[in-house]
Amino acid sequence: MKDLPVLTNLKPQFREIPKKQNKVLANLGAPHIESFDYVLREGLADVIRQLDPVEFELPNKDRVRLRIGDCSIARPVVPLSQLNVREKRVFPSECRQKNETYAGMCTITVDWEVNGQPRPAITRDIGALPVMLRSKACNLGGMNPAELVERGEHEDEWGGHFVVRGMEKLIRMLIMTRRNYPIVLSRNSWRDRGKEFSSTGIMIRCVRTDQTSTNNVLHYLVNGTAKLMFSIRRSLTFIPIMMLLKALSDYTDNEIYKRLIVGYEEDQYYKHCIQNMLRELHEEGIHNQVECKDYMGKVFRSKLYYLPAWYTDAQRTEHLLKTCVLIHMESDLDKFNLLVFMMQKLFTAAQGRCKLESVDSTMMQELLLGGHLYQKLLREHFLTFLNGMKYNMLKLCSDADAHLGQNEAVMACKNASNFDRAFSNFFATGNLQKASEMGLMQDSGLVIIAENINRMRY
């Protein structure tokens, strides 16, 4: 078969199955399949590595720590209860005919500790999750056209979609703001964020390697100061930039001042603003990194209610800096240097000495692929599972005399979360309740029905 459709396909030899798949059609599903294979190959391991453990205290004062140790998605097979089965593999054509979901069993391992002592890990099947066609978790993966036809598929089946309740569903590609790049913008809505806020700011969409994303905005205030915006559980929070720079480093005021004005020694307005911001910090009684972390921990204690009660104010601040501020960087020094660059860029734009950028420019955009969204959804359900397990443990050990053992931990896993139902609802409706927490601009229309009439929709 030729790459492009021509009338020669009307000849008798058209009925012969080609040895190779059509490259044009294969390229339609390639981005979707590659993103899903990335999740299976390294994305899941990255999510587990960067997922924060859940820590809490029982009524008997025992401290418990829960985390996901491992996760795997198997290929679709018939249930073990089905005996005398010649072919154990399940193929998409069968699911289409029976109005079922083409899914593979997801198995996780939960590591848990009591008072720092590791306990035997718990391995549990959490449900069958939809598997993308032609991916490494699909039984059609690596098949040639003849083998595809034998299994009831098109000879040019390009994959990249899911079979959910007999329907072919496709996760849309979404246009997102370019990751990890500070963009200077002017938005009138930013003036409504507080007293003396201006329309000028620098926005950066921070994305970690596990695809977790959050937005930070460095705002310029008309009084010559700057504040950084970050979100804690969908709650917008603003903090003076100098307080943040102090918390990230143990530099003296003189060292911070010199780093901020490098290359801008002739800008008197910028230098004057930095000096005023440093003085304001001392007027609040904050003089060094330790005092800054303690102050921030006290201020944000109510918003960080989900952290263990035994955490100190400094530990709460460290958690805040790790999970809310420039999360794509692991080193505090790297975060400090990026904030210095953002400050220089912000004040240059505020004085009209550089042109504003636009998020509508192609240079400032990227695509969120289906596999990446699938990975984001998995991460959210991992957190839901651990929190559900936490509340079950607290319910089982509600008395001060009760102790947490292996049997109680296994019981707490049983009804912690229903993964397969949540994924089925997502593919059936295309809606996400926690879309804003996952860094998405929309919470509906994320899934469409795949059909072969107009392939250019994909």
Q: How far apart are CA 370 and CA 209, in angstroms?
A: 16
Last residue of a domain, one of 365, 383, 418: 365
Residue type at 220 in one-letter notation: Y
pLDDT of residue 266: 93
Give the model confidence (pLDDT) of 216-254 as tens digits: 999 999 999 999 999 998 899 999 999 999 999 999 999
Share of the chain above pLDDT 70, in %: 95
Give the model confidence (pLDDT) of 74-122 as tens digits: 999 998 877 788 889 999 999 999 999 999 999 999 999 999 999 999 9
Q: How far apart are CA 38 and CA 371, in angstroms?
A: 7
Domains in the chain, number:
2
Please indicate, yes or no, whether residues 246 and 377 belong to a single structural domain of this protein. no
Q: Give 106-155 as a DSSP string.
A: EEEEEEEEETTEE---EEEEEEEEE--TTSTTSTTTT--HHHHHHTT--T
Is 279 among the domain residues?
yes
- Provide the mean pLDDT of the chain: 92
Please indicate, yes or no, whether residues 290 and 189 belong to a single structural domain of this protein. yes
Q: What is the mean pLDDT of residues 414-423?
A: 82
Please indicate, yes or no, whether residues 356 and 223 belong to a single structural domain of this protein. yes
**Lowest mean pLDDT segment, chosen from 72-81, 304-313, 416-425:** 416-425
pLDDT of residue 374: 96
Is the pLDDT assigned to residue 426 strictly greater than 80? yes
Is the pLDDT assigned to residue 416 strictly greater than 90? no
Instruction: Tell me the Ramachandran region of residue 203: left when phi exceeds 0, alpha when psi lies from -120 to 50, beta otherwise.
Output: beta
Give the model confidence (pLDDT) of 22-53 as tens digits: 888 888 899 999 999 999 999 999 999 999 99
Is 3 among the domain residues?
no
Please indicate, yes or no, whether residues 39 and 69 belong to a single structural domain of this protein. yes
Share of the chain above pLDDT 90, in %: 76
Q: Which helix (H) or strand (E) holds 104?
A: strand 103-114
Is 194 among the domain residues?
yes
Please indicate, yes or no, whether residues 31 and 129 belong to a single structural domain of this protein. yes
Please indicate, yes or no, whether residues 355 and 408 belong to a single structural domain of this protein. no
Is the pLDDT assigned to residue 65 strictly greater than 90? yes
Is 83 among the domain residues?
yes
Is the pLDDT assigned to residue 13 strictly greater than 70? no
Is 4 among the domain residues?
no
455: confidence class by pLDDT, cuts 50, 70, 90: low
Domain encompassing residue 433: 15-173+369-457
Q: What is the mean pLDDT of residues 295-319?
A: 94
Q: Are 103 and 134 in contact (CB under 8 A)?
A: no
How far apart are the two ends of the chain, measured CA to CA in Å? 22
pLDDT of residue 2: 62
Is the pLDDT assigned to residue 12 strictly greater than 60? yes
Q: Which residues contact 303 (CB under 8 A, 6 or more apart)?
A: 232, 233, 235, 237
Please indicate, yes or no, whether residues 163 and 45 belong to a single structural domain of this protein. yes
Is 376 among the domain residues?
yes
CATH number of the domain that 231 lies in?
3.90.1110.10
Is 6 among the domain residues?
no
Q: Give 203-242 as a DSSP string.
A: EEEEE-TTS-EEEEEEEEETTS-EEEEEEETTEEEEEEHH
**Per DSSP, what are the bridge partners of residue 218?**
202, 228
Is 382 among the domain residues?
yes
69: confidence class by pLDDT, cuts 50, 70, 90: very high
Reported pTM: 0.91
Q: What is the mean pLDDT of residues 122-131?
A: 93
Is the pLDDT assigned to residue 458 strictly greater than 60? no
Please indicate, yes or no, whether residues 122 and 105 belong to a single structural domain of this protein. yes
Any idea of the CA torsion for 127, 136, 144, 173, to the nearest 10 degrees? 90
Please indicate, yes or no, whether residues 297 and 438 belong to a single structural domain of this protein. no
268: confidence class by pLDDT, cuts 50, 70, 90: very high
Please indicate, yes or no, whether residues 212 and 128 belong to a single structural domain of this protein. no
pLDDT of residue 83: 75
Last residue of a domain, one of 344, 365, 386: 365
CA angle 450, 23, 1 (to 5 degrees): 100
Is the pLDDT assigned to residue 382 strictly greater than 70? yes
Q: What is the mean pLDDT of residues 175-196?
A: 96
Distances (CA, A) of 370 to 104, 172, 251, 457: 17, 6, 43, 14
Please indicate, yes or no, whether residues 232 and 263 belong to a single structural domain of this protein. yes
Residue entry with tokens 């098949």 = 143
Last residue of a domain, one of 365, 392, 426: 365
Please indicate, yes or no, whether residues 253 and 292 belong to a single structural domain of this protein. yes
